[in-house]
Chains A and B, each alone.
Chain A
Amino acid sequence: MKLTYRLAALAALIATPLPAVAATIEAVMYKNPQCSCCESYAAYLEQNGFKVDIKPVNNLSQISSDAGVPADLEGCHTLMVDGYVIDGLVPIDIVRKLLTERPAISGITLAGMPTGAPGMGGEKSGTWTIYAFTKDGKAPTVYATR
């Protein structure tokens, strides 16, 4: 098991370039105390050079709302990283794109818990749309699709 895990991590390392600065990136994840897939997503982030401080909260929807995530686009947890909000199970390359490009937005979100997303099991089906949102009341825009 452990060997498989290491090999997988190694494969991930080879397959995806590390951010320019290889130092760990600190992130805080707010999640429902009873939701387990968020922890799998946190593990996925950690395999990709992040250090995730997991904070279970009972009022996640209030936290994501305060962070500016549109109510109809909420993901299953809210991550605060490097001045941005990343809501839901956003794939790592899109997270890196955000932290590299540093657009003038509050954050990005992948709504719901799509099957096949990082942290979820199953096969991906259909297209995922990752939206960018701001806190100024403007409509969300498409940041990336997958």
Chain B
Amino acid sequence: MSRCSPSTEIAKGIRVHSDFHHLISRRGFLIAAAGVAASAPMRPVRASATEERRIKVAPSQARLTGTDGPQTPVWAYDGTVPGPTLRLRQREPARIVVDNGLDEDTTVHWHGIRLPNAMDGVPGLTQKPIKPGESFVYEFTPPDAGTFWYHPHADSLVQLGRGLAGALIVEEAEPVAVDRDLLWLLQDWRLAKDGQIAAGFGNMMDAAMSGRVGNVVTINGTVPADQLVKAGERIRLRLANASLARIMALRFEGHRPVVVAIDGQPCDPHEPDSGRLVLAPAMRIDVMLDMQGDPGKRYAVIDDFYDGLAYTLTTLAYDEAPPLRAHPLDAPVGLPRNPLPAPDLAGAERQEIVLQGGMMGGGKLAGVGGMMGMGMPGMNGEAAWAINGTSMTGDGHAGMAPQFTLRRGTTCHLTMRNETAWWHPMHIHGFSMSVLSRNGSSVPHRQWQDTVLLAPKDTIECAFVADNPGDWMLHCHVADHQMAGLMTVFRVT
């Protein structure tokens, strides 16, 4: 199915502007809409309180390494990698039509948004998959402002690995005082020598180790050139890791980023440990950066997560102009809190999930994934991982039995124990969790997360109020791990 023709768009009146949605920001859209209103006084300033969008999923081409680089065939939302940045407003409804132009089923998961279960985008579990040529209408009203993202939840490893990802920014009701609001949507690609996406999705060694980590990292769809900055300015930088498997630890040489939100949820502003921003797949971190470097100077942004494999992601290149202001902006950096329900820890129901399997997993999957004697979990398409002894593989399907059931309104005190030798960013659908403790030490800064990174052998305690009914997924966001069994489902009645 093709996009609406211009005439259809015009027939729908004001929505003619939405045809250019990936060229103009929502604010630009509102200005354009206001312009229309001025020339047609009978029309309200905003035709509808509902933000309407249409996104097409289809094969496309991208120059990931820059304008001189080779064309790489990708799968894309609206033809671009990453997909268009969707800007919604807190507590205002959105209606997003997704057209599937792929040759296989897809869905869209609005990662981190607390929404009705039927809009969560898990095939089989919350909706029928969108078949080739078909469409699905997603309707929800984001309760929380912040940095979120969207991606497929069908054939996840391949669809995400071929480029399907985009940012979803929910704007605060009142604008935040910064000079610039920037987004770095980070994607990691495994390219072959000819610049094409390498074959080998679902390789068992990737599945049972650290996932399909790639060899090219892009910011907003291209291998980054210098980031031009001005001395004295304050930047809100929204970092979103849309990689299949690559964990990043970013250091901003000569700068002191202040974390103001994690996974879209504002936290107490703080500088990260050792100045390293650890960003696992699917995680977002919003930082405030006061550009206190010297005009004309350059500062590296380094990712040193993997031992022996540190690299310079990009460089902050200062304009020669004198600083915008003599001292950093006075305005507080903290963001207004989102309306998250407060957990009742005293009356909480305790649940525990244990992550098992993988290479060097001590044979924990024997009898689950059939690795008897062979020591090769994931072989022959079998599960490489399990949660509490059960391996749910793939992307989601009908009839997945819930691991546990919570009565609506109950606080769930969830313990996640990583028995494996590998790192796992565990993502909960439909909720944000208050992160209570890591390995027995309480977690400071009032952090709420939808994706919590567990190091090997880590134990994390979290809590959330089960206020949203439905069957919800809880899985590792290293796509290979999810596909190979590191996934479970819980039910809220």
Interface residues of A (CB under 8 A from B): 32-37, 56-62, 64-65, 71-72, 74, 76, 111-115, 117, 120, 125-126
Q: Is B363 an interface residue (CB 8 A)?
A: yes
B373 within 8 A of partner (CB): yes
Q: Across the A-B interface, how many residue pairs have beta carbons closer than 8 Å?
A: 87
The answer on a CB contact under 8 Å between A33 and B214 is: no
> Which of B198, B205, B308, B422 is close to A56, meaning CB atoms less than 8 Å apart?
B308
* Stretch touching chain A among B65-73, B375-383, B385-393: B375-383
**For window 356-380 of chain B, which residues contact chain A by CB distance below 8 Å?**
359-360, 363, 373-376, 379-380
Where chain B touches its partner, the secondary structure class is loop
Instruction: Count chain B CB atoms within 10 A of each CB in A59, A76, A114, A125 and give the residue with the most.
Output: A59
**Complex Cα spacing A62 to B198, Å:** 8
Instruction: Determine if A113 and B375 form an interchain contact, defined as CB atoms under 8 angstroms apart.
Output: yes
- Would you call B200 and A65 a contact (CB within 8 A)? yes
Report the separation of the CA atoms of residues A57 and B212 in the bound assembly, to the nearest whole angstrom. 12
Known pairs A34-B422, A115-B373 / 13 extra A-B pairs, C-beta < 8 Å: A32-B210, A33-B306, A34-B423, A56-B309, A58-B210, A58-B214, A59-B190, A62-B198, A62-B215, A76-B205, A111-B374, A125-B373, A126-B373
User: Quick check: A72 and B360 within 8 Å, CB to CB?
Assistant: no
> How many angstroms between the C-alpha atoms of A61 and B213 in the bound complex?
10
**B307–A56 touching, CB < 8 Å:** yes
Which A residues are CB-close (under 8 A) to B373? 114-115, 125-126
Given contacts A111-B376, A112-B375, A114-B375, A61 and B205 within 8 Å (CB-CB): yes
The answer to whether A58 and B204 touch (CB under 8 A), given A34-B306, A114-B373, is: no
Q: Is the CB of A59 within 8 A of B215?
A: yes
Among A56, A62, A71, A117, find the residue whose CB has the most chain B CB atoms closer than 10 A: A62
| Chain B min CB distance to A27 (Å) | 17
> Could you give, for residues 122-161 of chain B, a 1 whenever the CB lies within 8 Å of some chain A CB and a 0 otherwise?
0000000000000000000000000000000000000000
List B residues at the A interface (Cβ < 8 Å). 190, 192, 198-200, 203-206, 209-210, 212-215, 246, 306-309, 359-360, 363, 373-376, 379-380, 421-423
Looking at the complex, which one of A59, A64, A72, A120 makes contact with B213 (CB distance below 8 Å)?
A: A59
Q: Give A125 to B372 CA distance when docked, in angstroms.
A: 9
Contacts A33-B306, A71-B203, A76-B205 given; indicate if A115 touches B363 (C-beta within 8 A). Answer: yes
A72 touches B379 (CB 8 A): yes
Specify which chain A residues have a CB less than 8 angstroms from the CB of B198 in the assembled complex.
59, 62
CB of A124 to closest CB in B, whole Å = 9
User: What's the Cα separation between A74 and B214 when bound, in Å?
Assistant: 18
Residues of B within 8 A of A120 (CB): 375
Inter-subunit contact A34/B210 (CB<8 Å): yes
User: Complex: how many Å from CA A60 to CA B215?
Assistant: 11
A5 to B203, CA, bound (A): 37
Task: Give the docked Cα–Cα distance between A113 and B384 (Å).
Answer: 13
Cβ–Cβ contact A64 & B308, under 8 A: no
In the complex, which residue of chain B has the Cβ closest to the Cβ of A125?
Answer: B373
